Chains A and B, each alone.
Chain A
């Protein structure tokens, strides 16, 4: 670890309890002949840490997110977030998916405001404080480069812009944890790299705990403090790699020797796992 900016090291250095703890969690899918998606997966994530989870496709990466968000409960083992055992969907959670999933009948601004209509304490104040909330949403949209697009409908925006709006919607209610399920997979490489920086800036300014699931090793190494590799189904945590580069990182770092070596090492692990 080269940098004091590293949030994960901060959390551990201060001796604080980890924010997200997954202990020996297993999860199955399907009713009649269930497939084991995750097997005895364990990991600890510090408050404010940026974690990436990589692995071959179908290895249960998304299942891990569903566990942490409380959308699914583990078959065995335990998931704890902020010191409390997860027993249902968490309200301190923001989530963005591969598809932006914006509501086509709402303008971009109204889409971003959606969580505030649901999550307390905002929901009960929504009518009264609407102007304030709208100003907040506009600020967030401006921060991701969407100033002036508030009144547009999602179908009038490009894929990258939709994903930016989706990130704003995931963050508007200031969630303590942000879960990203391959949010850039459907974008072209240039837009994807632009959005890496958008996410990094948002994370640096707001410091939620982030869990990013991705297929893209460069993306994982560029964005995360810690990268977990998960094995092919049933998913188990195979390795944990701390990424040392200082923040804020800029795209040049992805062409440095250290960066390439880390990426290669991760790739080798995944290839090895697929081979066995």
Chain B
């Protein structure tokens, strides 16, 4: 019970401290609004916040879905073939090292502003951890486990299907929790730079009017969406790959 309460106590304590500091030092609301001011902004602008949040959620999920699809496929290819690994991995690391914001001008030239750039940036950020984790799950299979299959005369694809894919699932689900957060980062960045909808866009407009409570309200909404999605994937992980966490408890 205390385990469930602690995060709430810490969050509420943080908000209280924030509120107290702002009140005690009379911080102007266009510098740092208090939590209560942010809540009243949330209520006052509930409708625009909701529509823009839905837009952000939509672009994030589409980008994330594409990242899952391609990350899984490429991760399997890289993890199961030494040849593909050696050939593709250096280039992938190169791509991943590019700050994704730096790609915005290119994406805008190619696709204009709006939904598509946001989807693409969300995809680019979320893709890499998924691919790397799936590949790691495959490359770290115990040789003895492969021998069990090989003495039966199993073909490489059978080893992949019966051992490789199930074994990489805990890595895959762990990466989803990281990737969904990155997908939100990607779509919000894109919306701030090149969009006319979404939470990022809303925050840019509000910032331009020095409406800091609304900017912070936007941040809160993104954070809440991030936490909710994270929890959904954590739940999925616990139920689909329950054997991985339990197995570690029993390992010694």
A interface residues with partner B (beta carbon < 8 Å)? 69-71, 89-91, 93-95, 97, 99, 101, 103-105, 114-115, 117-119, 153-156, 169, 173, 179
Contact = CB atoms under 8 A, between A and B. Distances in A.
Contacts of B162: 103, 114, 117-118
A105 B145 contact: no
A114 B148 CA distance: 10
Interface stretch (B26-34, B92-100, B115-123, B242-250): B242-250
Nearest to A173: B152
Interface residues of chain B: helix, strand, loop or mixed (majority)? helix
Contacts of B150: 71, 89
A71 B151 CA distance: 7
B247 A119 contact: no
B113 interface: no
A155 B250 contact: yes
A103 B153 contact: no
A91 B152 contact: yes
Interface of B: 142, 144-145, 147-154, 158, 162-163, 166-167, 169, 241, 243-244, 246-247, 249-251
Contacts of A99: 144
A90 B243 contact: no
Contact of B241 (A105, A115, A156): A105
Nearest to B159: A118
A97 B144 CA distance: 8
Contacts of B151: 69-71, 89-90, 93-95, 179
Nearest to B145: A101
B184 to A, nearest CB: 30
A153 B246 contact: yes
A101 B153 contact: no
A119 B152 contact: yes
Q: Which 4 residue pairs of A and B lie closest in terms of their CB atoms, listed nearest first? A: A91-B153, A155-B250, A155-B247, A104-B247
Contacts, number: 68
25 contacts: A69-B151, A71-B151, A89-B151, A89-B152, A90-B151, A90-B153, A94-B151, A95-B148, A95-B151, A97-B144, A101-B148, A103-B145, A103-B166, A104-B243, A104-B247, A105-B166, A114-B152, A118-B154, A118-B158, A119-B152, A153-B246, A155-B246, A156-B250, A169-B148, A173-B152
Nearest to B241: A105
A101 B147 CA distance: 10
Nearest to B166: A105
Contacts of B152: 89, 91, 93, 114-115, 118-119, 173
User: Which of B153, B162, B166, B167 has most chain A Cβ within 10 Å?
Assistant: B153
A115 B149 CA distance: 8
A250 to B, nearest CB: 31
Nearest to B251: A155
A179 B150 CA distance: 13
Nearest to B246: A155
B166 A101 contact: no
A61 to B, nearest CB: 15
B75 to A, nearest CB: 18
Contacts of B167: 103, 105
Given A91-B152, A114-B162, A118-B158, A155 B147 contact: no
A69 B169 CA distance: 30
A83 B201 CA distance: 76
Contacts of A95: 147-148, 151
A69 B148 CA distance: 11
A264 to B, nearest CB: 33
A90 B152 CA distance: 7
Nearest to A69: B151
A154 B142 CA distance: 16
A182 B241 CA distance: 31
Which of B142, B149, B251 has the largest number of chain A CB atoms within 10 A?
B149
